[in-house]
Amino acid sequence: MKDAVRIQEEDFSQDEEITALKTSSQRMGGIATFLGCARDFSEGREVSRISFEAYGSMALSEMKQLRLDAIEKFKLLDARIVHRICTVTAGDNIVFIAAGAEHRAPALEACRYMIDELKERVPIWKKEITPEGDAWVSPHP
């Protein structure tokens, strides 16, 4: 079975991730997921491709810690985080978060917590490649 936290170039399958998540417990009544995808527009500009760069070792250890933090904070039965580092085009998958709990509320809340925290804590940068040139993305302050 694949690791619960991964940085990888290749795409992932949600069915596979959910199946892996479920193996950890037969008491999992609610699974919430968040999937981040590449859009073809950003702030009004047309985006052809998006490329990602990571401080790999730190990004992976931050993601692992984030998973443990979420499991503890929301009493999850399990959680998974996968981020692709590669160049993607519109519609492609970028990031996948899954949270499994006995009931739906903690699963949904943990899913939101993990994607919000990932954006704050994990050293990954996005470059938008547009017909007018490339630009690293500055997140909103």
**List of residues contacting a copy of itself (CB under 8 A):** 13-15, 18, 22, 26-41, 90-91, 102, 104, 107-108, 111-112, 115
First to last CA, the chain: 38
User: How many Å apart are CA 112 and CA 61, to the nearest integer?
Assistant: 20
Q: In whole angstroms, how close is the CB of 7 to other proteins at the nearest point?
A: 10
CA–CA distances in Å: residue 109 to residues 27, 46, 77, 134: 18, 33, 14, 35
Q: Work out whether the CA dihedral 43, 10, 93, 95 comes out positive or negative.
A: negative
Total site size for other proteins, rule CB under 8 A: 27
Q: In whole angstroms, how close is the CB of 50 to a copy of itself at the nearest point?
A: 11
Give the SS3 label for residue 72: helix
> Which of 8-16, 19-27, 48-56, 70-78 is the region at the interface with other proteins (rule: CB under 8 A)?
48-56
Comparison of 4 and 81: residue with beta carbon closer to other proteins: 81
Comparison of 56 and 75: residue with beta carbon closer to a copy of itself: 75
Residue 70 contacts residue 113 (beta carbons within 8 Å): yes
Comparison of 18 and 54: residue with beta carbon closer to other proteins: 54
Strand 49-54 to strand 78-84: parallel, antiparallel, or no bridges (unpaired)?
A: unpaired
Comparison of 28 and 60: residue with beta carbon closer to a copy of itself: 28
Q: Does 139 bind other proteins (CB under 8 A)?
A: yes
Both tokens assigned to 9:
């170039």
Q: Does 35 bind other proteins (CB under 8 A)?
A: no
